[in-house]
Amino acid sequence: MTDAAPRKKNILRVLIPVLVLGAIGVYGTYWYKTGRFIQSTDNAYVKADISVLTPRVGGEITAVHVKDNQAIEFNELLIEIDPSDYAAKVENARAAVAQAEAALANNGQQRELQHSLIAEAQANWNAAKASEQQMRREWERADALVKDGVATHQRLDNAEGAYKNAVANVEHAAAAMQASRQQLGALSQSDRARLDAVLIAAKAQLHLAEIDLAATQIRAPIAGTVGDLAARLGERTAVGQRLLSLVPLDKVYVEANFKETQLTRMSVGQRAEVSIDAFPGRPLAGHIESVSPASGAEFALLPAQNATGNFTKIVQRVPVKIVLDDGAGLHGLLRPGMSVEAKIFTRATAATPVQAEAPVPDAKS
């Protein structure tokens, strides 16, 4: 019994360093092959493309059909604004369209009438021309008879006067016909173009009025959940005033803000793993969909002006969008703004995906 205790101590003295060295070796091998390619950050949050709804028209809110945190389907009626003023504008615009159409129709009737007047003027000219030719032949016969001594000079004078009168009638008929054709040209070109423009403008005003009338009913542009509901029954709203927000909870993603030094091997398509603080022990798989074209500081309201004053170098962060591939039972439970811990496996690309590795301790940014 006395020899067993020292023997065990000697075995432990040898075994413990071997186990420690073995563990260090295993961890070192894993770090060299995999761990060093993992980039992580806790500067990450759940995001969603939130739609902020504002009215196109102003007026009194006559109905609010939703409440806070209510799930909404696409195109569902949310809010109604008093349509009385806009319905009256639609009727006024319709009357303007009817008036323009009537003026255009009247122009068409005037053109038809003018065609009839041109035909009448053409007939008058034909009659005057025939009469002119007859009087000319009569004048020529009278002239021949006077030369033969058969007729008197008075008959010749009468025939000559009748011929000259017929020539004048032809000229008058020609002038009337030319005037009728010019009048038709005026009706066909300038006046009709003006009436067409008036009708187009009236129809455009009617379309705008109908758009405004339809805008008194605010409908959901996407399916989502109502948040930040500010609309109240009886309240008068203005154009562009914020009424509510729609959050598409079924299309959330993660925005992870990595240090610029962590982006060296990152690329679109690489596998990601995210852990939501609100749901510990339930990691979600995802992948990088895109990387921001600039650092977060570049989009700040007051970006840094490093070209002035003293300079202190600060590592910048660049937003990386991570799309979730598997909800793992958390579908509909994630809320924009929740804190996230994100890992990116930079050893893999979209072309050569990495198999799932066991979690490994790493230094969080």
pLDDT in tens, 90-127: 999 999 999 998 887 777 666 666 666 667 667 777 77
Domain ranges, ordered by start, for the chain? 38-48+249-365, 55-81+216-242, 84-214
What are the C-alpha distances in Å from 32 to residues 29, 37, 38, 265, 273? 5, 8, 11, 15, 20
Predicted local confidence at residue 181, as pLDDT: 67
Q: Could you tell me the CATH superfamily of domain 38-48+249-365? A: Efflux pump adaptor protein, beta barrel domain (2.40.30.170)
pLDDT tops 70 at residue 185:
no
3-state DSSP assignment of residue 245? strand
pLDDT tops 90 at residue 65:
yes
Predicted local confidence at residue 361, as pLDDT: 45
What tens digit of pLDDT does each residue of 36-45 get?
778 999 999 9
DSSP string, 94-147: HHHHHHHHHHHHHHHHHHHHHHHHHHHHHHHHHHHHHHHHHHHHHHHHHHHHHH
Q: Could you tell me the CATH superfamily of domain 84-214? A: Helix Hairpins (1.10.287.620)
Most confident of 20-34, 132-146, 173-187, 229-243: 229-243
pLDDT grade for 63, boundaries at 50, 70 and 90: very high
Model confidence, pTM:
0.68
Predicted local confidence at residue 331, as pLDDT: 84
Give the pLDDT mean for 79-93: 96
What is the percent of the chain where pLDDT is above 70? 75
State how far Cα 56 lies from the chain centre.
15
Predicted local confidence at residue 241, as pLDDT: 95
Question: Could you write out the three-class secondary structure of 180-222?
Answer: HHHHHHHHHHHHHHHHHHHHHHHHHHHHHHHHHHHCCEEECCC
Predicted local confidence at residue 304, as pLDDT: 80
pLDDT tops 90 at residue 171:
no
Q: What is the DSSP letter of 82?
A: -
Select 55-81+216-242's CATH number: 1.10.1530.10, 2.40.50.100, 3.40.50.720, 3.20.20.140.
2.40.50.100
pLDDT tops 80 at residue 172:
no
Say how far apart CA 185 and CA 114 lie, in whole Å: 10
Say how far apart CA 152 and CA 160 lie, in whole Å: 13
